[in-house]
Structure formats: structure tokens, C-alpha cells
Amino acid sequence: MKVTRIAYSVRLNPGKCAALAEQARRLGRVRSEVWQRYGSIAGVGSGLTDRQVRDRWLADGTHLQFGVLANAWKETVRDAMADIAANLEGAKVQVRRAVTQRTDDPAERKRMFTALKADQWAGDPFLARQMRKHWKRGRNHTLNQIVVRADKHHAITDARGRLWLAVPGLERRKMVRIPLSTTAVPTGTLRLILRGGRVEVHYQIDASQMRSSQRPCGQRTIGVDKGYTEALTDSDGQPHGVRLGMLLASESDRLKERNRRRAKLRSIANNAALRGDHAKAHRIKTNNLGTVKRDRQAARHRAKMRTEIFTAVHRVVDEAATVIAEDLTKRFAGRKTLGKNMNRRLAAWTKGVTAEALRNVSERRGSALVPVNAAYTSQTCHRCGAFGRRSGDRFHCTPCGVVWQADVNAAINILHRAGDPDIALHTPHHTVKQILQDRTDRHRTRLPVQDSSPAIAERRANHPNRSTTSNQ
Ligand SMILES: [Zn+2]
């Protein structure tokens, strides 16, 4: 398993920065050309590999127009072809869904899935039509990246202990040296992303090298509920990642305040422009409405929240060999209502990171992650199964007459879902509701009826099974 690491440049001089930006811009043209030629049905449908594309370009001289070194454009072609392939796979997911809706016949489904997988949809009118519908021609929007092959970069540490990464520039044998903020040498294929006047060096390492991967997992089976106040609550009632709520609230407040200030500045700039004071308008736009600081602050905040979530998952895996969790890959909004100030996009982001952390940490530390259908797990009582009422962080169950801590109740329900004989991962929402409803009805008929006459109560007590079987 691979994980991505990012190193940042520190105090990169403007000349180098401009040279790298120019290289990235030219390579962006290479990407655009690749998308233009091979990013549609006709292109990849003909089954070209990135190597074949390179050979064609070398033969017809396409590469000469870009003004970059051979290795740089070749790596870029490879990267862009991989992007196109990913785009194509995305379309196929939707086409597969359409196939499932079209036919119930297993043989027919299999025939179409196989044709799709082998990129041979063109012969089948239905598949061809669906592919045309779902595979929109993509366009390149990447103009700030340079991909550097593993053998084309090296790093040196200077006398003061600073690490310098040397990467190829626009001229042969003239490397550009980038001072980095880390002492860990980036390895393998590098992706340099130029953002906000600095260079981000993205690279992948094998997760087994990470220290946290060596930590053994626990031995128990634990259910977890994902939240926004705490990252996770487990079925023992233990919260993990308790700072998440505070971090989310402060980030949400910060965004709101910042957007308010920026809107005000923008209106001042616009008014100045209307008055004819273009100098002032320009000054505000460049000095006060830039994106460098904004993006860096956002990145810093996101990193803090990621750490909180990952730490929470590690704590759970310390105890667990098996973690039962809601299937977080599902696209619908989720079971949790958001706080008043919580930004919807922030919530979606948090959910994505939690899903990633659960997958990633489980895989690295050898615990099993079992996704379950979490429908109604926050609305039913874990003890009697009845639907209850949730208010804030409390859950009231009327039949039990008990108030549970809502997240703990949900986590225990999630734990039980793993062994549920009737509710599978993809059982539809309304079916789950029906199953739960039936269970509580059945359960209730087994209980003595309080307001009935003594004779009936006695008969029920003597034949406890009759009333339940007759209801089934
Ligand atoms: Zn109950």
C-alpha cells in the first residue's frame, strides 16, 4: 500500500520559481494536446498505450513544438494518458449501472460487462450509446505540474543541514535546486505542483515503512459511529478525536468571517474601478484579494483536522482486530444532521477523510474493516430495537424508558449490524425501516399487555409462543 507524502519548498528564489512555472505551463500544453487527441471515444477506443503515443509523436515531430526536454514531455504524456484512463473508468461505472437497470439476465449482463472491461463496447449499440452519453470529452486544466521520473532527480544536504532537491529545468544539464522544508528525501516519481509561489513535492512511499504501520492492532470487535463533535465514538462508549468539533467550528467561523471581509473589499475595488480609480482597484486585487495566504491557511487547517481523525482511528485500532463502521463511500448525505454553522463542503470533506483513515489504518495495521448498512442506526434503541427520539446528543427510548448517549447508541447498533441476518450492506433504506418495524411489532406482542383483563394476560403468560407465531 502506498501513501502520499508532500514536501514544501522554503524561500525559493523568484527566478527559479518563474522558471519552474514556465516549464509547468509548457507541459500543460503537452497535456492539453494529449487530451485533445486521445481523450475521446475515438482516441482510447483505438487502444493506444502511452508508449505508442510517444513513438507517434517522435515520428511526426509533435514534441518539437513544446520546447521542453524529452524526459519531461514523455513523463507528462504518460501522466495525462493515466488521467484519461481514470476518466474512462469513471464513465464505465455509470454505464455498468445502466446495464444493471436494462437487464436482469445474468448471461447478458456478463456479456456486456466483459465487453466494457475489454474496451470493446463499440460493436454493441446499447453500450456504444451509453458510453457516448457518459464519457464526456474531458479537457486539461492542469497547467502547474511537472512530473519527474525517479532517476531524474537527486537531493543533497548542505553544510547547514538543509535539503536541496535538484530537478531538470528547461535546458539540458541545468538542474534547478529547490530548498525543502523537510529532511526526508523525496523518492520515486515526483509530482511538483506550483501553488502560491512555492513548490509542493508530492511523492509516494510504501506504507510499511511508516512507524505507525508497525504498531499491532488489538483483538476485539468494535463498532464505531462517525461524528462531527468527536471523530468517532466506539461501541464501548469511548469518544475518539474529541478536538474535531472545535477545529471544525473554528474553521467554519474563520471561513465565514474571511468571506465577509473579502466580499467587502471586492465591492470597494469594484466601486473604485467604476469611479475610474483603476490603480486602487488593482492594488486591492493584488494586495488584499490574493489567494496565496488564503490557500495556505486552509491547507494548514485541513492538516490539523486530518491528524485528529487519523489519531482517532489509530486509538480504535489499538483495541480492535475488527472495526465495524458505516459504509462511508455511499454518496447520500449521511445520517447526521449538521451543526448550524457547519459548512456542507467541510462536512463532506470530513466524511471523506474518515473513510480514508479507516481504510488506510486498518490495512496498514492488519485489522479488518467491515462496512455495514447504517440506516436508522441513530434512530433505533440498541436494547429493544424500537424507534426513539433524538434530541441533540441524547436518544430517548420510550419502551425502555431510558436516555442513551446518542452516538454510543448508534455505535452499538452499528456493531450489531455486522451480524444482522436480514440487513445487508445494500438493503434499501425503506426495506430496512420495514424490517426494523416488523421486529419491534413482534417484540411488542411478546410483552404482557398492561391494560388487558387478567384472563387474557394469564392466557398469554401460559402460551407465550402462540401470540407471536400467529402474528408471523
Ligand atoms: Zn429501547
Distance 154 CA to ligand 1 centre (A): 63
What count of residues does the chain have? 472
d(CA 218, CA 195): 41
d(CA 213, CA 364): 5
Q: What integer pLDDT is reported at residue 454 of this predicted model? A: 43
pLDDT digits (tens, 9 = 90+) for 129-164: 888 888 877 788 889 999 999 999 999 999 888 999
Distance 397 CA to ligand 1 centre (A): 5
d(CA 395, CA 224): 17
d(CA 431, CA 168): 59
- Quick one: pLDDT band at residue 332, thresholds 50, 70, 90? low
d(CA 284, CA 287): 5
Distance 428 CA to ligand 1 centre (A): 24
Greater model confidence, 456 or 292: 292
End-to-end CA distance of the chain: 50
Question: What 3-state DSSP class applies to 5?
Answer: strand
Distance 370 CA to ligand 1 centre (A): 25
Distance 419 CA to ligand 1 centre (A): 19
Q: What average pLDDT does range 362-372 have in this prediction?
A: 91
- Quick one: pLDDT band at residue 446, thresholds 50, 70, 90? low
Q: How many CA atoms lie within 13 A of 243 on its CB side?
A: 12
d(CA 347, CA 309): 13
Distance 369 CA to ligand 1 centre (A): 28
pLDDT digits (tens, 9 = 90+) for 390-435: 888 899 998 888 899 999 999 999 999 998 999 988 888 899 999 9
The strand order across the sheet containing 394-397 reads 389-391, 394-397, 402-405
Whether the per-residue pLDDT at 118 is higher than 50: the answer is yes
Q: What integer pLDDT is reported at residue 41 of this predicted model? A: 66
Distance 377 CA to ligand 1 centre (A): 13
Q: How many CB atoms within 10 Å of residue 232?
A: 27
- Quick one: pLDDT band at residue 91, thresholds 50, 70, 90? confident
Q: What integer pLDDT is reported at residue 58 of this predicted model? A: 92
* Residue 100, C-alpha cell as written in the block: 444493471
pLDDT digits (tens, 9 = 90+) for 155-181: 999 988 899 999 999 998 899 999 998
Distance 410 CA to ligand 1 centre (A): 12
Question: What 3-state DSSP class applies to 240?
Answer: strand
d(CA 62, CA 33): 9
Distance 331 CA to ligand 1 centre (A): 30
Distance 435 CA to ligand 1 centre (A): 16
pTM, to two decimals: 0.68
d(CA 100, CA 117): 15
Distance 10 CA to ligand 1 centre (A): 58
Helix axis angle for 244-275 and 344-365, nearest 10°, is: 140
* Residue 437, C-alpha cell as written in the block: 418495524
Whether the per-residue pLDDT at 447 is higher than 80: the answer is no
Distance 386 CA to ligand 1 centre (A): 6
Distance 388 CA to ligand 1 centre (A): 8
Q: Closest Cα partner for 79 from 193, 215, 250?
A: 193
Distance 459 CA to ligand 1 centre (A): 26
Three-state secondary structure string covering 13-76: CHHHHHHHHHHHHHHHHHHHHHHHHHCCHHHHHCCCCHHHHHHHHHHHCHHHHHCCCHHHHHHH
Contact 63, 53 (CB under 8 A): no
What mean pLDDT value characterizes the chain? 86
Q: What integer pLDDT is reported at residue 286 of this predicted model? A: 87
Q: What integer pLDDT is reported at residue 208 of this predicted model? A: 81
* Residue 211, C-alpha cell as written in the block: 512507524
Distance 445 CA to ligand 1 centre (A): 15
Q: What integer pLDDT is reported at residue 87 of this predicted model? A: 84
Q: What integer pLDDT is reported at residue 318 of this predicted model? A: 95
Distance 381 CA to ligand 1 centre (A): 5
Q: How many CB atoms within 10 Å of residue 325?
A: 28
Distance 430 CA to ligand 1 centre (A): 21
Residues 6+ apart with CB under 8 A from 267: none
Distance 406 CA to ligand 1 centre (A): 12
Q: What integer pLDDT is reported at residue 436 of this predicted model? A: 94
Cα angle 191-192-197, degrees, rounded to a multiple of 5: 160
Helix axis angle for 70-102 and 50-60, nearest 10°, is: 130
Can you spell out the DSSP letters for 308-343?
Answer: HHHHHHHHHHHHEEEEEEE-TT--S--SPPPPTT--
pLDDT digits (tens, 9 = 90+) for 25-73: 999 999 999 988 888 766 554 567 889 889 999 999 998 999 999 999 9
CA torsion 330-333-334-338 (nearest 10°) is: 150
**Maximal CA-CA distance, the chain:** 100
Share of the chain above pLDDT 70, in %: 90
Cα angle 421-427-432, degrees, rounded to a multiple of 5: 75
Contact 432, 373 (CB under 8 A): yes
Distance 404 CA to ligand 1 centre (A): 9
Residue at grid coordinates 433524538? 390
Distance 399 CA to ligand 1 centre (A): 5
Cα angle 319-323-326, degrees, rounded to a multiple of 5: 140
Contact 7, 191 (CB under 8 A): no
Distance 384 CA to ligand 1 centre (A): 4
d(CA 122, CA 129): 9
